[in-house]
Amino acid sequence: MKTHSFLMLLAACAPPLLSVHAGEEEIRLEYATAPIAGVQSEFARAIRKAMPGVVLITAEKRVGVVSFDGWGTSRQLGYMDVPSGQGSGFFIHDSGYILTNYHVVKGQDSFWITLHDGSEHPARVVGVDPASDLAVLKVENAGEQRFPALRFAAPESVEPGHWAIAIGAPFSLNRTVTVGIVSNKNRSGVGVNAYEDYIQTDASINPGNSGGPLLNSAGDVIGVNDFIMSPSGGNIGLSFAISSGIARSIAEELIAHGRVVRGYLGAIFSPLPHRRGNDSGHGVLVERVYRNSPAAGKLFPDDVVIAVNDRKILNGSELSNALFASRPGDSLKLTLVREGRQLEQVIRLTHAPETSGSHPRRMLLRPIFRE
């Protein structure tokens, strides 16, 4: 009787995999091999498709080297590049452009790219965007060689519960694959980067995975693996990847211009104190407005911004994301609460002014949210 109950429970827990047939004297288990094989084949196809486009990035630092003669006398000072860190990346264009994290290339002097076939190529930095923690490298002296570029998935195609596949080089173990699910999307306010729109996943990533792709079950890029949250330093199922929407647009600007030029508003914001609640129950407080800025004459201290382009603003990170996604010439429609009245202001953003002058805060290069 116990065996019968256990088998029925097993069948209930995994109906797609097992089939239970109860007869007068025996219960026979049959393996549902076809669905298993189908899932495995789908994952294998996605990994085979994406793997050649993923690279190992070895960063190097230039150090001084002193050579000595046979008498111990210094004779010559030279320089050499020594390995100082590793990360992952992936091709986004067949001409050799590689997307990775800014923190993988930060403070480094030279780079080597190891391809899927084991070949190595020097690479240079094309552009970096510290606000989003993204950077683009390019294989040097590629000539007519073509590289296997990965394709970005549409951001709106990602949903919690979807499969997530991470490929990278954790602890220098190149071509490592881990699998999980999308735990959440559009995560912001994590406090790691200035511009945040993360896909949260439980796919295991570790040091060395940074800059590698997070893929859907079709092998298309849904994010760029960025960091983990862990009290111990090891993965506990809280992994974060920069969404494909941010990654693609930033990469395109870095390739075109070498940097990201964002719109300038000219205001400082702070959290909305509880005592300053408004009818909508959300928003951020305008703390300061800079003279001769786009915000001057349209925003005033103590205004409460509750929406940008009709999208509700719940906190400062959402406002920061809206502003970081803007470019010079963009117009933002801000919905405000001012002295108990709701109104709208359309503000056309400009280029950030030059920072010449003795006062370090004379000009505001980007919108600041003060915690």
Which residues are paired to 128 by β-bridges? Answer: 135
User: Residues near 147 by Cβ (< 8 Å), separated by ≥ 6?
Assistant: 53, 91, 93, 94, 95, 96, 115, 139
Report how far residue 11's alpha carbon sits from residue 3's, in angstroms, rounded to the nearest whole number: 12
| Residue 117 among the catalytic residues | no
| Residue 359 among the catalytic residues | no
Report how far residue 333's alpha carbon sits from residue 226's, in angstroms, rounded to the nearest whole number: 32
Kindly name the residue from 110, 183, 204, 210 that is annotated as catalytic: 210
| Residue 210 among the catalytic residues | yes
Residue 360 CB coordination number (10 Å)? 7
Q: Is 131 exposed, middle or buried (0-12, 13-18, 19+ CB in 10 A)?
A: middle
Token pair of 240 as six digits: 């974060």
- Per the CB < 8 A criterion, the answer to whether 163 and 216 are in contact is yes
DSSP secondary structure letters along 204-246:
---TT-TT-EEE-TTS-EEEEEEEE--SSSS--S-EEEEEHHH
Kindly name the residue from 103, 110, 204, 317 that is annotated as catalytic: 103
Active site residues: 103, 133, 210
